[in-house]
Amino acid sequence: MSEVRPTLPTVESAAPGGTHVPLIDRYRERLPFAAGDPLVSLQEGSTPLLRAPVLSELVGATVRLKLEGANPTGSFKDRGMTCAVSAAVREGARAVICASTGNTAASAAAYAARAGITCAVIVPEGKIAQGKMAQTLVHGARVIALQGNFDQALAFVRELTDTHPIVLVNSVNEFRIEGQKTAAFEVHEGLEGRLEALCIPVGNAGNITSYWRGFRELGAAPRLYGYQAAGARRWSRGGSSSTPKRSPARSASGVRCAGRTRWRRPGTRAARSAR
């Protein structure tokens, strides 16, 4: 009997350089942290860059997937959160807050717990992914549901942090953008600078801004393709005249926001260079 063996995708470099090194340690010279600063880490970053043979065949190009779900709380938010919470602790903060529909909440809750400080999360009522809500509660965050959408929840926490000594850890916090740019460093290193295009989901354009910043710092300029939820205000060319709907796409909870947070901020530049 002849044995038919399936052809398996090859596994590339099992352990990317820096695995298990906290992200701030790995890229300290490119981040706003000095040796000896408080480090709040759950060993984020250094995620796999996986070859995707089926997708490659489908699109006729070599496709790789950056598995950001391999971060400690399951999303890329951990890259920014290690920086935002470390900086908050450095400033002496005793509490952080965010508005979120899921991933940011879970990440903020986990890093605040690691730091031993309080985390409050404002969620648009009924619009948070249940698994993420569970994670957030398990990590001990105080969760308050607000009637309205994500953008209203964000406006509320911005107002609150303007008048109270609580650090806002949504992606309007520059440390979040700084931390998340390390994903671009890893992709660039993993492919030895040969990346041609990056495809990425876009909500408030924090993450695409981070990648754009990371690549620019390395002198790289891959094409950036951003994908928004249907109904959100368009970031790309001609987008400024379109009106955001109040409740964009119900199915993609991670990008379910009108996309106004970084409007006229650096995200606009990242989005303009996105095609």
Ligand X SMILES: Cc1ncc(COP(=O)(O)O)c(C=O)c1O
Distance (Å, whole) CA 26 – CA 51: 24
From candidates 171, 183, 233, 271, binder to ligand X by CB under 6 A: 171
**Which residues, in sequence order, are bridge partners of residue 98?**
121
Query: Closer CB to ligand X, residue 41 or residue 100?
Result: 100
| Block residue for tokens 């996309």 | 259
Based on the shown chain and the rule CB under 6 A, indicate whether residue 131 belongs to the binding site for ligand X: no
Q: Considering the complex, state which of residue 21 and residue 252 has its C-beta at the smaller distance from ligand X.
A: 252
> Rounded distance, CA 120 to CA 118, Å?
7
Token representation of residue 77:
């938010």
Residue 203 as a binder of ligand X (CB under 6 A): the answer is yes
Query: Of these, 202, 224, 258, 270, which contacts ligand X (CB under 6 A)?
Result: 202
Binder of ligand X out of 99, 255, 258, 270 (CB under 6 A):
255
What's the token pair of residue 186?
């890893």
Do residues 181 and 214 lie in contact, with contact meaning Cβ atoms separated by under 8 Å?
yes
103 makes contact with ligand X (CB under 6 A): yes
214 binding ligand X? (CB under 6 A): no
Please state the closest distance from residue 68 (CB atom) to ligand X, in A. 8
Question: Taking CB under 6 A as the rule, does residue 205 contact ligand X?
Answer: yes
State how far the alpha carbon of 247 is from the alpha carbons of 25, 150, 194, 244, 250, in Å.
39, 9, 38, 9, 8
Which tokens is 176 given? 């979040």
Candidates 8-16, 20-28, 57-65, 202-210; binding stretch for ligand X (CB under 6 A): 202-210
Beta strands of 55-159 (E only): which ranges? Answer: 64-66, 95-99, 118-124, 142-146
Residue in 86, 207, 222, 270 binding ligand X, rule: CB under 6 A: 207
Contact with ligand X (CB under 6 A): which of 62, 134, 201, 230?
A: 201
Give the binding range for ligand X (CB under 6 A) out of 11-19, 59-67, 120-128, 196-204. Answer: 196-204
Give least dist CB 170 to ligand X, A: 9
| Beta carbon of residue 164, minimum distance to ligand X (angstroms, whole number) | 24
Contacts of 169 (CB under 8 A, 6+ apart): 81, 84, 85, 88, 96, 97, 98, 104, 108, 176
Q: Which residues bind ligand X (CB under 6 A)?
A: 75, 103-104, 171, 201-208, 254-255
